[in-house]
Structure 1
Amino acid sequence: MKKIILAACMLAALGAQAQNEPYVKETDPLVLRKLDEWQDWKFGLMMHWGTYSQWGVVESWSICPEDEGWTQRKPAGIPYYEYVQKYEALAKTFNPVKFDPAKWAAAAKRAGMKYMVFTTKHHDGFNMFDTKQSDYKITSPNVPFSKDPRADVTKETFNAFRKEGIHIGAYFSKPDWHVDSYWWSYFPPKDRNPSYEIAKYPERWKSFQDFTYKQIEELMTGYGKVDILWLDGGWVRPLSMQTKESLSWSKTPPQDQDINMAGITAMARKNQPGLIVVDRSVHGPFENYRTPEQSIPDKPLDYPWETCMTMAGSWSYVPNDQYKPVNKILHNLVDIVAKGGNYLLNVGPGPDGAWHDEAYRKLDSIGAWMNTNGEAIYGTRYIAPYKNGKVCFTQKKDGSAIYAIYLLDAGEQLPSVISFAGISPKKGAKMELLGYKGKLSWKQEGENVDIRLPGAALKRQWADAVAIRIQ
């Protein structure tokens, strides 16, 4: 009993220590340069896609034996092992014949997206690339789409986006619920973690380390230039790096899931110099930027960060999913950028390889706004106070201009006067409304700056937000 209490106390102490871990700044000059470039890009596309899209269920999680809201099996009532068999048999019917990555890439470019992150493998272990380490993959002979010359969808997608000048990110799940070296079939899985005790079977865990290393090596050597390695499954981490949050993810005693991030990172950067590595939620030297999920921080953060968020309600394809209004998406973008972050917006392709038409319509509307206002977004950095009322602020990283971005509510008419406090322009500063040719008159009384918009500008149709350049 004393040993159990001591172990619990030790884990609690480790969790408290790791929870307060500060951001660890990268020292590799090539990575620092790439991170600075990444902070200029601001807006990216994420795609969750796999065999699960055929059922329109949550990606991977329905085979996890945790009783959480997002892990529910559909339809309900099927015994667990029968369900897993049916789920893994989805590979035999996966045939996304409408797969058209060039169309995706063109839409992303029109929307003003500068980078993308594509799921090469999610937690269920189904590989969307031609790995040599597993037969559970889209190029396996028992998958109908394997006969298509575009069967290696990761390669085709990376090439299509690269052709449009969009930077490439590879999403890769560290846990793998299909391989015997993680969920060993000898023991039933109890939760998202390994189904066996790593301390008792270290050779099995070593096998999983090697498997993971080799898969990432394949992605880093056979798929062209990659800018970001985006690793998910943050519970796979050394025991010493557990936090209060990550400890809460385990229904079983926490284990030392050291995946050898130092070795993986060294190998990856040897093949992809300057690679940004995102071991998400594991605060340490391999988390080059942090990734709040489906949320936006209340205030600016003092390290590189990115909000990853769904365009619709789900990460993966759901029939008739409800998409966020363009007004909401653009307000999120402005809010995130004003706080110094990037916005990674997710679209889930369907079982046939096509996006919802609504996704294309949203991206085209976003692109129309970005064509006019993009200079207030790209290449900017946080400037205090970041927001005042309905006005957000951004600043070019060279200090050449400040932008005041007024957030218009849905259907709101552009006001004749835009007012804010917190930024004090120099006397005689030139101001321009992006998308309108002509100078603006302004005055400052105390802390308040009032910018008067001419009648000709008010007659125009404005929507979502307007940006004023202050030089």
Structure 2
Amino acid sequence: MMNSKSARRLLACPLLTLSAFFAVSWTVTLADENLAEDPFTIEQGQIENQVTSKPWVGRSPEELRAWAKKNLHVKLTAKNVIDAEAHPQWDWFRKSGLGLFLHWGLPSANPDTGDAWAVMWSERKAKAGRYMEPATKMFAVAETWNPEKYDPDKWLAAAKNAGFGYAVMTARHHDGYALWPSDHGDWNTGDRMGGRDLVKEYIDACRKNDIRVGLYYSGPNWHFDYQNREFEFPSTVEFTVNYKHEFLTDGTKLMPPMQSAGPDEIEQSKGQVRELMSNYGPIDVMWWDGNVAMSEEELRPMQPDIFVARGNIATPEGGHQGASEKVKVVNEAGWWWESCQKSENSFTPNWHYGIECETNHWDTNTLLTELIRCRSLGGNLLVNVPPRGNGEMMEWFYEVCDEMAAWMQHSREAVYDVDLAPPLPTLDRTQNFTTVKGETWYSLPDHRRVVFIREVNRPKSVILLRTGTQLDYEYRDRSLRVVVPRSMKTHLPDMVKITFGG
């Protein structure tokens, strides 16, 4: 088992990311290209050993879906197999491939934590010394929060230049505070910010910058009737924890945190969703969390072309759920998928902004490598970058976006509008993250600057995508080996473009 320090070191490798190291295991026997041993023999041996299990081999998509539902996390399964030809209105989603997740709300402005779940007490968090607080402390933030530097136009202009095709912002998170002036309930910006509509400002910025509009909505509402709600998750049998984090041992029954309080809460949530679907023009993505507040059948009359992500497609979260072997199964099963990743190098509980986000964050190489990995396995990347509570985006985000924009100038074709239907070569014919566009393949060299692909025809050309420079290669026994010269490498992914055909 790798420790967190080992995992952080692996993030520096062009081939390996937080999500990928679960699926690939390099050993000290890897050879440098200058050693006398035949590199083809070495590569063949390594490629056989790197993926220890291939459940997608020998199973039909139907059999693989049954296997996945039995063996994988529920977020790695999907409700439907989407017929792309029957739904051309959703074609943009898979073509774009890169989304910006914006967790922003009361936890972002909380002076002590960006962890929305800090209001939930648990034995495990207590033993680990994790910060927890009574719900009333987080709720109190709403009385004074009015983000004076909120500038989604600046965020999304940078995101567009960097190659992001869509964004998803938390219109309402589990704390239940609606970021627009809702007529349903009294826990929203209409009651606390004099009617300021933060959702409208975000949507307007998306449209101005040609970014597809996504909204996150939490079905659970921890503020609704919170005096009678349990604030312990997961629950224990010995006691119950209330909103003050008092331990009740008298058998008091409180409403579970992820459960609705009843018809009034459900109707309030449906009313709010109707506002989001009716008052802001076309919405491209709906992203549920906790539970689904409104069925697709109810959404369609208001938003006929909306793409419902969570539940309809697989949405693994984090490196463990989204490991390469697992999402390979998802793709081979015929499901669309989107990996939801926090842009952090070492674990924190924060999806919203916390001070750790300022320094514990991905660099450009890590973000681009993760994007390439997801695309090579047939999915999207939805990367979370949380704005500060005052509405500013962290400075490092703009620096990363500038570097991404420069990379996109020469290598965009390797990640956008690529083939996503199985079979794809990554993990089968190669350990290099390799995207496909017809007869053209784009491979990311490993940490030794090597690309090795089996079971292919002799290529017509092999070039470094960034410069167009022809690269030397070896072709033998239907295997291709390319070594990118050290002098050609940069600190960002240097894709090798391989053209077959004929």
Is this a same-fold pair by TM over 0.5? yes
Partner of 1:384: 424
Partner of 1:367: 405
- 1 CA distance for matches of 2:107 and 2:128? 13
Partner of 1:437: 468
Q: CA contact under 8 A between 2:98 and 2:164: conserved in structure 1? A: yes
Partner of 1:468: 496
- 2 CA distance for matches of 1:73 and 1:50? 25
Partner of 1:52: 107
- 1 CA distance for matches of 2:127 and 2:273? 27
Structure 1 residues 33 and 420: CA distance shift in structure 2, 3 A: same
Structure 1 residues 273 and 187: CA distance shift in structure 2, 3 A: closer
- 2 CA distance for matches of 1:57 and 1:187? 22
Please give the secondary structure, in 2, of the residue aligned with 1:118: strand
Partner of 1:421: 453
Q: Identify which of 274, 296, 304 aligns with 1:217.
A: 274
Aligned pairs for 1:197-216 (under 5 A) are 205-216=262-273
Please give the secondary structure, in 2, of the residue aligned with 1:139: helix
- 2 CA distance for matches of 1:18 and 1:209? 30
Aligned pairs for 1:301-340 (under 5 A) are 301-302=330-331, 303-312=335-344, 313=348, 314-321=350-357, 322-340=360-378
Identity level (%): 26
The residue identity in structure 1 corresponding to 2:297 is: A
Number of matched pairs: 394
- 1 CA distance for matches of 2:462 and 2:367? 26
What do the CA deviations read for 1:130-153 (whole angstroms, capped 9, x no partner)? Answer: 22112211232x43xx37xxx211
Structure 1 residues 98 and 463: CA distance shift in structure 2, 3 A: same
What do the CA deviations read for 1:37-95 (whole angstroms, capped 9, x no partner)? Answer: 3111111100111122222513431222444439999876xxx7xx3333211111112
- 1 CA distance for matches of 2:495 and 2:204? 34
TM-score (norm 2): 0.70
- Post-superposition shift, 1:27? 6.6
- 1 CA distance for matches of 2:218 and 2:127? 17
The residue identity in structure 2 corresponding to 1:288 is: N
The residue identity in structure 2 corresponding to 1:228 is: V
Q: CA contact under 8 A between 1:62 and 1:72: conserved in structure 2? A: no
Greater relative contact order: 1 or 2 (C-alpha under 8 angstroms, separation 6 or more)? 2
The gaps in structure 1 that reach 5 residues or longer are 1-14, 238-258, 281-286
The gaps in structure 2 that reach 5 residues or longer are 1-68, 236-252
Q: Identify which of 98, 103, 106 aligns with 1:43.
A: 98
Which 10-residue stretch deviates more, 168-177 or 348-357?
A: 348-357
Structure 1 residues 19 and 469: CA distance shift in structure 2, 3 A: closer
- 1 CA distance for matches of 2:363 and 2:467? 25
Q: Identify which of 95, 107, 120 aligns with 2:158.
A: 107
Please give the secondary structure, in 1, of the residue aligned with 2:288: strand
What do the CA deviations read for 1:345-373 (whole angstroms, capped 9, x no partner)? Answer: 11111121111111221222223222221
Partner of 1:33: 88
What is the RMSD computed on CA atoms of the aligned residues?
3.4
- Post-superposition shift, 1:189? 4.8
Q: CA contact under 8 A between 1:63 and 1:71: conserved in structure 2? A: no
- Post-superposition shift, 1:206? 2.2
- 2 CA distance for matches of 1:317 and 1:163? 25
The residue identity in structure 2 corresponding to 1:113 is: F
Partner of 2:61: none
Q: CA contact under 8 A between 1:217 and 1:267: conserved in structure 2? A: no
Partner of 2:250: none
Q: Identify which of 92, 98, 112 aligns with 2:143.
A: 92
- 2 CA distance for matches of 1:373 and 1:298? 22
Partner of 1:288: 312
Structure 1 residues 123 and 444: CA distance shift in structure 2, 3 A: same
Please give the secondary structure, in 2, of the residue aligned with 1:406: coil
- 1 CA distance for matches of 2:376 and 2:186? 45
- Post-superposition shift, 1:195? 3.6
- 1 CA distance for matches of 2:426 and 2:127? 38
